[in-house]
Amino acid sequence: MSTADNRKYFQAADPLAGVPLQDVPKDGQCVEKTDAEWREELTPEEFRVLRQAGTERPYTGEYWDTHTAGVYQCRACGAELFTSNEKFDSHCGWPSFWAPLAEGTVRYIHDRTLGMERVEVRCANCDSHLGHVFEGEGYGTPTDQRYCINSVSLRLVESRAGQ
């Protein structure tokens, strides 16, 4: 995704830009399960973060300091969301990416919890909470954005040697 494309999608959810909230995907385009079904498939911590928009403690997640090549999938539904090519060391305690894998893999919603204006990032396939995206923090990345994602929301599928 180009920097311009990425910025367009971020601004579509920017609470200060006055642009409407993105809609949830239409019926049939999104994995739909009851809370009971999700609880059967996910650990209690995965359910708390993915389905209840929780946050894992910083520096405790599996991938915050990982440098392994591969693709990061949604832990709830398996959709491919990010790659190691866009992962960078932000030293914030959570995995950080400067862009999602492709347009439409994540969706953005306004998050006004905890007295803050933030942009929440969710899986476009199953509407699970992934984390938040921040802009203008001065990281030397192509988009000047930091997708701060919970490790428990992701599953890394390592690239095979030579790929």
Statement: residue 7 has pLDDT above 70: no
Identity of the residue numbered 42: L
Tell if the pTM clears 0.85, that is, is over it. no
**What phi and psi values does residue 11 have, to the nearest 5 degrees?**
-65, -25
- 126-136 tens-digit pLDDT: 999 999 999 99
Cβ–Cβ under 8 Å, residues 106 and 11: no
- For residues 109 and 21, what is the distance between their CA atoms, to the nearest angstrom? 6
3-state secondary structure (DSSP) of residue 51: coil
Our measurement of the distance from residue 105's CA atom to the centroid of its chain's CA atoms, rounded to an integer in Å, reads 9
| 122: nearest Cα among 34, 8, 13, 20 | 13
Task: Say whether 148 is catalytic.
Answer: yes
- 121-161 tens-digit pLDDT: 999 999 999 999 999 999 989 999 999 999 999 999 998 76
- 44-82 tens-digit pLDDT: 999 999 999 999 999 999 999 999 999 999 999 999 999
Which stretch of DSSP H or E encloses residue 107? strand 106-111
| 108: nearest Cα among 33, 17, 44, 3 | 17
Q: Is the dihedral of CA 42, 48, 54, 55 positive or negative?
A: negative
DSSP bridge pairs for 111: 118
Instruction: Identify the active-site residue in 74, 77, 123, 148.
Output: 148
